[in-house]
Amino acid sequence: FKTEDGVSFPSQGWKMGKVIRNKVNSVWKPLWGKRAVVPDKYNEMKLSFVNEAESSDALEIVARAYNEGVAFRYVLPQGAGSALELTTFNFAGDYTAWYYNGERHNIGPERLTETDGERLPVMTVKAAEDLYLAVHEACLDEGEPLKLKSEKGRCLFSVSAKPHLLRAGYQSAWRVVLCGNRPGDLVDSHLVELLNPEPSGEYDFSWVKPGVALWDWRMNGVQWEGFNYTMSYPSWERAVDFAAEQGFAYLVLDANWYGPEFEQGSDPVKGDKARDVRKLIQYGKQKGVGIWLYLNDVGGRNYPLEETLKQYGEWGAAGVKYGFMAGNPEEKNTRTKSITEMCARYKLFVNFHDYPVHPYGQMRTWPNAVTREYCKAQLDGHEIFY
């Protein structure tokens, strides 16, 4: 780290203290996902560093080795004011890499030495014909989401983030390097989730039942078999009937059901169709189809957010699709965590729409946070191919 006055630590005058080793061989039983039981097996080492001139200055590095990758994080028991993280990833060769690119096609393939500037995770690297790596982070409790930065001609990638207040007890996100013999091994890994804690006993997640959802957005304006589909109760009722017939668990009501989503005066609980939505939720319960409700960040900020989410829970809604969150990356991370926790309180799923904070395994701690639209959500949208 480097403090605001330019002092780097640990550096000269610091010494290594205790080294604690630990082995864990356990299992994680997710509430949902592709596996009912996930092995949680790793070797851990904690390194303590102390400033000899100022014994209150201390830093711990916690490192874990799993079969499918490695991870490390920093812990500051006493804090250190505002400081900048100096972590770098120094690759042994000029490998080929690909990077996330929002709703567009990924960046790459490009050689590591061709990369110039910032890149967003996940960073996927082909190091050999039978060795693939992925650089990401896990358990982002606070601060700015991970960005990586490199200069053309180098194979060195540094964490690019603004200085952050390192309070007493601060724990950084886990810096993660996944590895596998083929790209599919990276996708199949649970390592990022395993680096997040189990759910708090404060919340009951027994109600969480993920499933396939039907989406009203693709029906609006369509005429089929003599019926005109619009944003209206008769159309929604037909959608629920179809979902029930097909065995779909949910129907998502998207933007503008409570009024124009970007208008300041659109009240997310008293909009034009609020009564119809409440009626639809009850109809859906009869058919075994849960209803997700869209909520734009404008409505989430202009009206009491917790009261809105509580109202949706009392109506019996299944979840919330939260759209177009404003703010810088650090603000969005804080707000995302807050909304996720409030949704858990009122037994609501939550999905974050349009350039959300990247997933970092939060679904282990918050099983109601079933998805984030980090990549293009509309797979039939042609812009994903260029």
At 246, list the tokens: 């097909």
pTM: 0.94
Distance CA 116, CA 91 (A): 15
Distance CA 120, CA 112 (A): 14
Distance CA 336, CA 308 (A): 16
pLDDT digits (tens, 9 = 90+) for 313-333: 999 999 999 999 999 999 999
Sort residue 256 into left (φ over 0), alpha (ψ -120 to 50) or beta. Answer: left
Question: In order of start, what are the domains of the chain with their CATH numbers?
Answer: 2-195 (2.70.98.10), 213-372 (3.20.20.70)
pLDDT at position 279 is 98
SS3 117: strand
pLDDT digits (tens, 9 = 90+) for 199-256: 999 999 999 998 999 999 989 999 999 999 999 999 999 999 999 999 999 999 999 9
Per the listing, tokens 């404008």 go with 298
Q: Which uninterrupted H or E stretch holds 330?
A: helix 329-345
Per the listing, tokens 């979840």 go with 319
Per the listing, tokens 């191919």 go with 385
At 111, list the tokens: 């050689």
Helix axes 329-345, 305-315, angle to 10 degrees: 40
pLDDT at position 7 is 86
Distance CA 222, CA 298 (A): 28
Q: Among residues 127, 141, 73, which one has the least CA distance to residue 96? A: 127
Are 341 and 320 in contact by the 8 Å Cβ rule? The answer is no
pLDDT at position 299 is 98
pLDDT at position 78 is 86
Torsion of CA 64, 67, 68, 73, to 10 degrees: 0
Distance CA 322, CA 249 (A): 19
pLDDT at position 196 is 98
Helix axes 305-315, 274-287, angle to 10 degrees: 40
Distance CA 145, CA 334 (A): 10
Parts of the chain with a pLDDT under 50: 386
